[in-house]
Chains A and B, each alone.
Chain A
Amino acid sequence: MLETEELKKVFKGKTAVEGASLYLDKGESVGLLGPNGAGKSTTISMISTLLKPTSGDVRLNGKSVIKNPSEMRRVLGVVPQEIALYGELTAYENLKFFGRIYGLSGKALETAIQRSLELVGLMERQKEIVKTYSGGMKRRVNIAAAMMHEPEVIIMDEPTVGIDPQSRSHILEMVRQLNQEKGLTVLYTSHYMEEVERLCDRVYIMDHGKIIASGTKEELKSILSSEETVWIELDRPYPEFFKELQSFEMIKQATETEKGIKLILPKGSRVLGKVFQASERHQVQIINVNVQTPSLEDVFLHLTGRKLRD
């Protein structure tokens, strides 16, 4: 339904996005994952026709939308990262305005407003001024505004940034419903791994302006199928112990965390015995040891050498 081909964007000589090719099938929920500054927002700005790419193409049902963006804009709803609302107006007034600019009027407009408010669970508080809302409520109205014209594709740019867990959970559930029950095609960008794992069928991972991996969650995790992750929880940091572990040839990657040490090992490697011996030598107090199957976070770490929220 929607695809991009080798999208590139250069700002004042600096390449923000390079060679970004991705596709979305109808009714699919796709995640675009990457740390801050990875190029996610620039990519979705190009896809949503807000930004002209330096090179490459965006196609909707096989037709390029670069020169003629109106077709794309008709079927597209965008939930921006910012709270793109008029703070001095009520939620109802905001939605009324956004409905009007899509040509809605009279009963159709009123129906669209009530439908959108119901979707985001703000029917009761629709007449309150938006700037008096909590962060989570503002985010919900932000989504409702993008839903006024019943788009077929919705692009959400980090829609849960800076909100409380309850509102976040509400929004995630809403997105899931939109995708699974109403068949909406969703492109969801986030730097929260668990959101993408929960919502998306397929994932693109971006870093430094490039898509470095893509596939279903299982496909991505299979990158690490030959590996396993071992968490060693310690009572306090032991730098000498960590240094010794890093020198073990069998350990592919060792990372020091707040609570202990994370090791990525080849599957089936018998290195734990040596780890315990080293802990004896350094008089390390181990509280817990946990062997995990890989997560997307591990895949990201493996691919980029850094954490998603770094």
Chain B
Amino acid sequence: MKSVFLLQWQRFRRAPVMMLSFLVMTIIFVALLAGNNPAERSAILTYADASLSAPEAEDWVASLNEAGEFKFQLMDENEVREAVAAGDAPLALRLMEGNYRIVLAADDMSRFVLEAFLNRKYREELRFQQVEQQTAGSDIRTEVAALMEEPPLQIVTATLDGKEEFRYDNQLQLLFGMTLFFSVYTIMFSLMKIVEEKKYGTWDRLILSPVGKWEIYLGHLAYSFTIGYFQIVLIFVLFKYVFNFDVGDRFGAILLIIACYTFAIVALSMLVMSLVSRPQQLQAVVPIIATGMAMIGGAFWPIELVNSNMLLAISKILPITYGLDALKGVAIYDRSWQELSEPISILLLYGVVCMGIGINLMERRNY
């Protein structure tokens, strides 16, 4: 097994371009597309009308920037209006006394997200101001902050089917989706070596040697698992520590989920290999499987946005659905191990079943 495993790495070192291209493509896609995240956008140009004094306007901008969801930049009204009119800024914000206006040159989908944020912040701030007027001298803001650490009432939001409320994080959706998507290519193309060996006769040489058949399979499977696993881990580490993506504090759980997902994809690849006889066929089949699985399984957009019952039913047989569910469960929803056990178990079961069928079919074709 060790010889076969090491041989694959030796071959990889001689021709690494294809495998590395999947790693690079993942990084490029995530880095570019995640730039659309509201938090990463350029500053929203802001000006105050005559109803606000300069210090009041500055206070409002500081308060809005405090949340960190958007970045607001206070400027002169004329400059802001010129920038919007010239198309240099898609929208701008006009601050008024106890109110605001969004200035648009053309309709922009992102205004809904901005509007929701401003509504929330204005309500909160205006309530504070009202209370401060009524209770002159008291530091209501500090008191509220202290109370919120241990709130007297806790509101738990739940949907009718008992699932958590859908929370969307553009960065993590892209990071998880694209990484799992491109890893399918890496794993399937790395395992394609088995089909190549069978076609070019080296498989027969291995069979005739004292190396057991299970050792040959294990050597190939271990290589595909390792290369797929490290690709995903490397990307997650890169985006967590270099690009500062917030993947949560439970990186150990994420590593475990990646291992289970990689195992399931290696097993699925084995099943696919058993159904094709030529490497050329695989080159056509792999993109169809990877892209189809990513689209239906929620790698390109959140599965929560899909309404079709048929697509949702199909997504239930795809490992990427469970991989994404478990990863989001850790990074976004901070689910417990008990809750994570369901997608993890399904991934493992999926792997065992596909591996069993795949190896069986492959062996049957030999005789």
Contact = CB atoms under 8 A, between A and B. Distances in A.
A190 interface: no
Given A84-B202, A89-B11, 7 more contacts: A73-B208, A80-B204, A86-B7, A86-B11, A88-B14, A101-B4, A101-B211
Contact of A97 (B3, B200, B207, B208): B3
Contacts of A82: 200-201
Contacts of B204: 50, 78, 80, 84
Choose among A70, A73, A76, A86 the residue with the greatest number of B CB atoms under 10 Å from its CB. A86
A82 B203 CA distance: 12
A76 B208 contact: yes
Contacts of A100: 3
Which A-B residue pairs are the 9 nearest by beta carbons?
A84-B201, A82-B201, A88-B14, A101-B209, A80-B201, A100-B3, A84-B202, A101-B211, A73-B208
Interface string A208-221: 00000000000000
Interface SS majority for chain A: loop
Interface in A74-106: 74, 76, 78, 80-86, 88-89, 93, 97-98, 100-103
Nearest to B193: A86
B205 interface: yes
A145 interface: yes
Interface string B263-276: 00000000000000
A30 B130 CA distance: 105
A78 B10 contact: no
Contact residues on B (Cβ < 8 Å of other chain), bracket: 20 to 34
A85 to B, nearest CB: 7
21 contacts: A48-B208, A50-B204, A50-B207, A50-B208, A51-B367, A74-B210, A78-B204, A80-B201, A81-B201, A83-B201, A84-B201, A84-B205, A88-B11, A88-B14, A97-B10, A98-B205, A98-B209, A101-B3, A101-B4, A101-B209, A101-B211
Contacts of A76: 208
Nearest to A101: B209
A64 B114 CA distance: 80
Given A50-B207, A70-B210, A73-B210, A89 B10 contact: yes
A263 B205 CA distance: 46
Interface SS majority for chain B: helix
A59 interface: no
A80 B197 CA distance: 13
A20 B88 CA distance: 83
Nearest to A157: B201
Choose among B10, B201, B207, B210 the residue with the greatest number of A CB atoms under 10 Å from its CB. B201
Interface in B310-367: 366-367
Interface string A253-273: 000000000000000000000
Nearest to A48: B208
B164 to A, nearest CB: 49
Contacts of B208: 48-50, 73, 76, 78
A241 B200 CA distance: 49
A52 interface: yes
